[in-house]
């Protein structure tokens, strides 16, 4: 029986964000923007969705008097990502 792929993660930009955050301890907004090549507005919206799902933690602070947004994957996010990859593998194996 196939489990449905998590709709929160099954979106190109959100999946890219989570894949980046799973590889690092924390990352700044501009780093994610550069790596995903997304627009600031789009990235902000998707980060907010991931935060609402409890998959990431967002910390807002200041650096050299400029606002700084730092993102970090949460334990729920790690679990969701692992489940997503597991389910994805099942789909791919069946299609082979």
Between 25 and 60, name the residue whose CB sits nearer to another protein: 25
Among residues 40, 53, 42, 50, the alpha carbon closest in space to that of 71 is found at 50
Instruction: Catalog residues that contact another protein under the rule CB under 8 A.
Output: 5, 7, 10-13, 15-16, 19-20, 22-28, 30-31, 35-38, 42, 45-46, 63-64, 85, 88, 91-92, 95
Is 91:2 a contact under the CB 8 Å cutoff? yes
Query: In whole angstroms, how close is the CB of 76 to another protein at the nearest point?
Result: 18
Separation between Cα atoms, residue 94 and residue 74, nearest integer Å: 31
Query: In whole angstroms, how close is the CB of 58 to another protein at the nearest point?
Result: 15
Between 30 and 76, name the residue whose CB sits nearer to another protein: 30
Is 43:33 a contact under the CB 8 Å cutoff? yes
């Amino acid at each position: 029986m196939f489990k449905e792929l998590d709709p929160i993660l099954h979106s190109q930009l959100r999946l890219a964000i989570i894949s980046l955050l799973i590889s690092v301890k924390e990352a700044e907004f501009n780093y994610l923007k550069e790596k995903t090549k997304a627009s600031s507005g789009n990235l902000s919206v998707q980060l907010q969705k991931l935060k609402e799902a409890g998959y990431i933690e967002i910390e807002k602070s200041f650096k050299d008097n400029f606002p700084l947004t730092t993102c970090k994957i949460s334990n729920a996010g790690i679990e969701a990502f692992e489940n997503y990859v597991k389910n994805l593998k099942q789909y791919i194996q069946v299609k082979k």
